[in-house]
Structure formats: C-alpha cells, structure tokens
Amino acid sequence: MIYFSNAKINLGLKIVGRREDGYHELRSLFVPIGWCDVLEVHVIEDEKPGEIDLKIEGVEVEGDLASNLVVKAYEMLSEDFKLPKMEVTLLKRIPTGAGLGGGSSNGSFMLKAINELCQLGLSEDSLEEYAGRLGSDCPFFIRNTASKVEGRGEIFKDAQKNLEALRDKKIIVIHPGIGVSTANAFQLLSESGNIGECEFDYSDLSTLTNDFEGAISDKVPEIKEVIEFLKSLGGAYTQMTGSGSAVFSLFDSTKLQGSEFEAVEKRVAEEVQNKGWSYYSGNII
C-alpha cells in the first residue's frame, strides 16, 4: 500500500514559558499542507514476524535507520501486537530540519498504515496515544486537520473554523537548502530573551507571529533572504514555520487571476533553481 505523509505549517508560534518538566510551553496553529513524502508499505507474510526493513530514497535523512520514526512506530506497536515482517520504502520529498514536521508525519502515517494493513482496530484516540510516544508533533498527523496546539505541543484542539479564513488561499513554501536543529533554535531563542507570557489570538490570523523567526533568521541569513523574496511577491502573509528553516507565504486566490498566480509561481521556480532551494506550491489541505 502507498501512503502520502504530508507536511504541516505553523501559523504563529509563541513560546510562553518553561515547564517544570523542562519542556517549553507553546501556542500555535498547525495546518496540514500538500507537500508529501511517499510511504510504500508491504506485508511479508512468509518471513520472520516482528522485523522491518526500511529503505529511504530522495532527500537525505541524517541518523541511522534504527532512529527513524517509521522504524520506531513499527517497533512500538510490535511490543503490543504480533506484527508480520514489513518492507517499507520512504521517498523523502519534504526537507528535513525545516519545521514542516516531515519526520513526525512519517512516523504517524506508519502507525496508521500498520493499523490498517494488520487490521488492529485501533481508534484514532489510541493512535494518538501511540503517536504521542513517538514525539510531540506526531499526534497531529493522526487526524491531520487544522488544530490549535498548546502544552509542549501535545495538546490539540480542533480549529476547523479557523481554517475557513484559509479556504481561498494558495500557499508557497520555500526551503533554503539549510536545516535548523530544534535544540539550537531553542538555545538561540533563549539567548534572545524572547520568551514570556503573551496572548495568542487564534481568531485573527494576521496577528499570529513566530517567536523563533527573528532570532533564527539573524543567525541563518538564507532564511531572511527567503522571507524578503516571498514578501516581494505580494503574499498576504509570510512567515517562517516552526523553528525553521522553511518559510511560507499565503496568497488570496480570490484577488489573483489564474495567470497572476502562475506568474508568481514562475518567479519562484526560477529563483529556486538559481539558488538551489526547494519549494512547494499548492492549496491548504
């Protein structure tokens, strides 16, 4: 079976304090987008159960295969269920270290794939519980709908009504070819002193800002270059997503004729080719 594990963007990201458990308390709005990896999963019935073979193609992924969330998802479920051997090919298209949640999505979609292929009968609530053990972002990709995010990133509340403001929006996401470590991003944010209590108004998307953007783009000039380029195209809303390094811009399709947005996409394609960046252009999903 083939599964398309999609990316997400953060509409705003506020760090509002440090928790007793050492994690940071955050506020954000997660929105799924159509930039996808491809996960091909095959059940091998006649071989030794409880084993997984993973092959990764496309975008390079750091770390060994044993640390990949696809493998960890399989191993976690195999502790509770007798699973057949599986052969998995992951075609990476979503850049890593980009703030797009590609790795988290892969792990969560693997949970859903196993649940379907092995007929485990796990509910979405149960899958979210397993996904939360993989990582903070992972539960989002189980239901894969716009969500208000709180806590350390593990508390999700439905935000479909907030998505209404995005129905007529096109999105362009550019990755500048350089990754940002989440740990390094938090270090830079701490050094900047930009952590404190704040209001986060989900009802007004234009007010949602990313606390990481200033500190990270100052240290990674490629991000600032992408931000300035996208703003020059006239997008309604431009922002770095997550802790970086990808940047997105929203365009109002009701105000743009088809040929006008095509002209914007052409400029992006030319700039990306010249700079060695990568990009996605499409709809909010």
Candidate list 14, 72, 112, 137, residue with the active-site label: 137
Question: Rounded distance, CA 32 to CA 284, Å?
Answer: 7
User: Catalytic pick from 8, 92, 112, 169?
Assistant: 8
The torsion angles phi and psi of 196, rounded to 5 degrees, stand at: 175, 170
158 has catalytic annotation? no
- Distance (Å, whole) CA 137 – CA 222: 25
Question: Would residue 8 show up in a list of annotated catalytic residues for this protein?
Answer: yes
> What is the radius of gyration, based on Cα positions, of the chain?
19
* Active site positions, annotated: 8, 137
